[in-house]
């Protein structure tokens, strides 16, 4: 399918859940004669929701790639999930799309999901058109939806169309760009073109003039012609509007009823005539900060934006050709790991159906299979070249659970299945935490984790349960303490003997040397888990040979990895070794390791020990009416509110919240705000645990150790 770059259009469908993206896509495919009948979500017969889990749940979960031919253009269409739990699918699709189609539900207008998605299009500066869908619904309100879009997204939101009779009898759309009225037959399909009624002509003319002004403003030549003649030709209008669309100065609004197949043909025509080709968009940013332009004559560069695993097929890689041509049989090098990959076959996709092609040009989207060492966010380029497309930035996880496997024998199988899913969805993170003795699953929301569990059980045939994850506490000291320990063991032959005198105290950067001790050597180590160990060797007179210093330090480190209070890691401690004894025969490294471990454990508990807990910076975006309930809930979570500020039409609440209190917060916030609030979180610091909770955690640990 050798389509030149200038004739390629890559469009991604975005929208809040139940806005009708998948149904709209079905109509677009039908209008382009890519399918012979329109499938429905309810019947599980759509092209894009083809997996068993999507059919069963009635929701898009994975991005589906389809394509159609429309006039001279090949239009690639990406249907994305509406739930923010699957934001990774949206972000990877936005990276490779050149236009986004934001679908609004005419009953609900601009919803919180719409606002979140709009932020992503702003970040990528993706040219965007809005479609007010479901205008056939009895509660449809075009005017309110349009007004909300202008309020939320600015005056650059400009209607191209308006409905004449929205609601259950909807069948007429007035198009102010073409200055015509489309009248649809019963059941939808190809409309008849009729003159605009006299009663609507003034509004249509005002909208048309606004479109002409937008086109003229973005091109000096068109501006001059507009002033001279007062209007522009259809080709000139298209030229000016394309420039405005690419520069984010124009967000056109269209009307549709996907359920009745009304309005989609006009959207397809706009994509063909006015939406940008990949060559009209800025080049892609590379890891080194340079830019790679979309150029058919450049080096062959393809970027893998999505990976799936299919039974009987194995790894399926979805890619965009960013430069040159990619053809079957070509060998390219993975710029991340320098392995060579042979592209045995390339395909164009129609949902789950893939058709082989020989070549794809710069800007096109395609599929290949069985790449050995190439994963999502990897770049393939010619040998001898260092071209690496910057990876898609994915959000931090918002929720975590611990996994309870069915049994030790199943654990290996379970982990293999989990890592397969994590490769398909990089926003799923698997963490095998040795300190917590748990396998943690991190994701974007409860639905995200529930779908992962469903896939593990249904697709991979492994049962698993979720439980509350433990908290990674840290232990430190707040006072100075000293003590000694003698390790003595006689077992017939050579024995073991070591005596270590130790002082511990809180460590702070720049603190003076320990009082009353003569410092011989100092080591300050940044610990792998955060914090510092400051180790002072203060032996005078050879009571312990300096050759045993490393063994003593190793003994301290061993106990710091599994602290004396709750088995948590220790941090920010200064240890001074100031005296001790050794035996000329029985002293060895092992003896001194054991002695230092025991003395550290004993005096740590005397130095006013303190448990530290992880604190997160949490930012919550919510409508005004939910602020009170959200703030009340935060107070029950030991949160400290650090600020409140207006953010567009929402309020942003900033707080510091202990991780221990964040369990299932995503579900709680969704419930409180009826799904209209969102939050982000980022690790901030470790802070002292309140005394009563510390006492409780230590008692729980001691009880567990006793068992």
Question: What pLDDT is stored for residue 226 in this prediction?
Answer: 67
Of 145, 87, 74, the closest CA to residue 117 belongs to 87
pLDDT > 70? residue 707:
no
Q: How far apart are CA 366 and CA 325, in angstroms?
A: 12
- The set of residues, in sequence order, having a beta carbon less than 8 Å from that of 492 and lying 6+ positions away, is none
pLDDT > 70? residue 228:
no
Question: What pLDDT is stored for residue 163 in this prediction?
Answer: 96
Within a 13 Å sphere around the CA of 58, how many CA atoms are in the beta-carbon half?
3
- Proportion of the chain above pLDDT 70, given as a percent: 99
Confidence of residue 187 (pLDDT cuts 50, 70, 90): confident
pLDDT > 70? residue 492:
no
Q: How far apart are CA 314 and CA 334, in angstroms?
A: 19
Q: Which two tokens stand for residue 311?
A: 């039974």
Q: How far apart are CA 455 and CA 424, in angstroms?
A: 12
Quote the pTM value: 0.85
Of 66, 28, 26, the closest CA to residue 46 belongs to 26
Q: Which residue has the higher pLDDT, 396 or 251?
A: 251
Confidence of residue 502 (pLDDT cuts 50, 70, 90): very high
Of all helices (H) and strands (E), which one includes residue 144? helix 142-153
Q: Which residue has the higher pLDDT, 599 or 406?
A: 599
The answer to whether 563 touches 610, Cβ cutoff 8 Å, is: no
The answer to whether 144 touches 269, Cβ cutoff 8 Å, is: no
Which of 50-64, 368-382, 488-502 is the most confident on average?
A: 368-382
pLDDT > 80? residue 218:
no
Of 622, 613, 615, the closest CA to residue 657 belongs to 615
Question: What pLDDT is stored for residue 608 in this prediction?
Answer: 96
Q: How far apart are CA 685 and CA 182, in angstroms?
A: 60
Average pLDDT across the chain, whole number: 91
Domains delineated in the chain = 5-280 (3.40.50.300), 284-381 (2.40.30.10), 399-467 (3.30.70.870), 475-607 (3.30.230.10), 611-693 (3.30.70.240)
pLDDT > 80? residue 134:
yes
Tell me the CA distances in angstroms from 360 to 170, 318, 484, one per residue in order: 41, 13, 74
Question: What pLDDT is stored for residue 40 in this prediction?
Answer: 83
The answer to whether 15 touches 81, Cβ cutoff 8 Å, is: no
The tens digit of pLDDT for each residue in 395-432 reads: 888 899 999 877 777 888 888 889 888 988 999 999 99
Q: Exposed e or buried b for every residue in 616-647, given b needs 16+ CB within 10 A?
A: bebbbbbeeebbeebbebbeebbbeeeeeeee
Q: Which two tokens stand for residue 377?
A: 């966010």
Greatest extent of the chain over all pairs of C-alpha atoms, in Å:
113
Question: What pLDDT is stored for residue 49 in this prediction?
Answer: 77
Q: Which residue has the higher pLDDT, 436 or 569?
A: 569
Of 70, 267, 270, 260, the closest CA to residue 184 belongs to 260
pLDDT > 80? residue 517:
yes
Question: What pLDDT is stored for residue 532 in this prediction?
Answer: 96
Q: How far apart are CA 162 and CA 70, in angstroms?
A: 24
Q: Which two tokens stand for residue 321?
A: 């050709």
Confidence of residue 82 (pLDDT cuts 50, 70, 90): confident
Q: How far apart are CA 631 and CA 651, in angstroms?
A: 12
Confidence of residue 495 (pLDDT cuts 50, 70, 90): confident
Q: How far apart are CA 61 and CA 459, in angstroms?
A: 15
pLDDT > 90? residue 207:
yes
- The set of residues, in sequence order, having a beta carbon less than 8 Å from that of 547 and lying 6+ positions away, is none
């Amino acid at each position: 399918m050798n389509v030149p770059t200038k004739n390629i259009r890559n469009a991604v469908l975005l929208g809040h859940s139940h806005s009708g993206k998948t149904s709209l896509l079905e109509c677009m495919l039908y209008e382009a004669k890519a399918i012979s009948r329109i499938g429905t979500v309810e019947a599980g017969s759509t092209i894009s929701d083809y997996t068993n889990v999507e059919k069963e749940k009635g929701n898009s979960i994975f991005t589906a790639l389809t394509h159609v031919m429309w006039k001279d253009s090949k239009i690639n269409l990406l249907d994305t999930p509406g739930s923010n739990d699957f934001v990774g699918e949206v972000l990877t699709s936005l990276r490779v799309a050149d236009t986004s189609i934001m679908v609004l539900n005419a009953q609900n207008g601009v919803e919180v999901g719409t606002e979140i998605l709009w932020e992503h299009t702003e970040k990528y500066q993706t040219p965007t058109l809005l479609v007010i869908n479901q205008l056939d619904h009895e509660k449809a309100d075009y005017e309110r939806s349009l007004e909300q879009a202008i309020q939320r997204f600015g005056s650059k939101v400009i209607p191209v169309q308006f409905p004449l009779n929205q609601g259950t009898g909807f069948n007429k759309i007035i198009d102010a760009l073409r200055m015509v009225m489309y009248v649809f037959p019963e059941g939808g399909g190809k409309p008849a073109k009729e003159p605009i009624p006299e009663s609507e002509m003034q509004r249509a003319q005002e909208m048309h003039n606004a479109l002409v002004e937008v086109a003229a403003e973005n091109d000096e030549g068109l501006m001059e012609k507009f002033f001279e003649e007062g209007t522009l030709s259809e080709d000139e209008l298209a030229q000016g509007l394309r420039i405005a669309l690419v520069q984010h100065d124009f967000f056109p609004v269209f009307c549709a009823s996907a359920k009745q197949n009304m309005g989609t043909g006009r959207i397809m025509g706009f994509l063909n005539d006015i939406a940008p080709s990949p060559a009209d968009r800025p080049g892609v940013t590379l890891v080194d900060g340079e830019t790679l332009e979309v150029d058919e004559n450049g080096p062959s560069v393809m970027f893998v934006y999505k990976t799936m695993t299919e039974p009987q097929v194995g790894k399926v890689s979805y890619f965009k050709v960013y430069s040159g041509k990619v053809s079957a049989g070509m060998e390219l090098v993975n710029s991340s790991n320098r392995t060579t990959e042979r592209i045995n076959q390339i395909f164009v996709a129609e949902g789950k159906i893939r058709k082989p092609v020989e070549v794809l040009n710069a800007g096109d989207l395609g599929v290949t299979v069985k790449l050995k060492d190439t994963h999502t966010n990897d770049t393939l380029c010619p040998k001898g070249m260092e071209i690496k497309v910057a990876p898609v930035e994915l959000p931090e996880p918002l929720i975590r659970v611990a996994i309870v496997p069915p049994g030790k024998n199943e654990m290996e199988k379970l982990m293999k299945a989990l890592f397969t899913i994590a490769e398909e969805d990089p926003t799923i993170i698997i963490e095998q935490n040795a300190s917590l003795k748990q396998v943690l699953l991190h994701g974007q929301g409860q639905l995200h984790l529930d779908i992962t569990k469903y896939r593990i059980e249904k697709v991979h045939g492994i049962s698993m349960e979720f439980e509350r994850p433990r908290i990674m506490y840290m232990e430190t000291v707040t006072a100075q303490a000293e003590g000694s320990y003698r390790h003595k063991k006689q077992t017939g032959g050579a024995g073991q003997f070591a005596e270590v005198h130790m002082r511990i105290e809180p460590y702070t950067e720049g603190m003076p040397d320990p009082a009353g001790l003569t410092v011989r050597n100092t080591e300050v180590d940044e610990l792998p888990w955060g914090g510092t160990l400051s180790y002072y060797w203060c032996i005078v007179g050879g009571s312990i040979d300096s050759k045993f210093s490393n063994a003593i330090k190793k003994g301290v480190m061993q106990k710091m990895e599994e602290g004396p209070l709750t088995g948590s890691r220790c941090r920010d401690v200064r240890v001074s070794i100031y005296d001790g004894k050794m035996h000329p025969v029985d002293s060895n490294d092992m003896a001194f390791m054991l002695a230092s471990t025991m003395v550290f454990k004993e005096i740590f508990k005397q130095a006013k020990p303190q448990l530290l807990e992880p604190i997160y910076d949490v930012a919550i975006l919510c409508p005004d009416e939910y602020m009170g309930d959200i703030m009340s809930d935060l107070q029950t979570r030991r949160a400290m509110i650090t600020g409140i500020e207006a953010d567009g039409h929402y309020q942003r609440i900033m707080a510091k919240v202990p991780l221990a209190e964040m369990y299932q917060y995503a579900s709680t916030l969704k419930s409180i705000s009826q799904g209209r609030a969102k939050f982000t979180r980022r690790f901030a610091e470790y802070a002292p645990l309140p005394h009563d909770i510390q006492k409780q955690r230590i008692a729980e640990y001691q009880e567990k150790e006793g068992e």
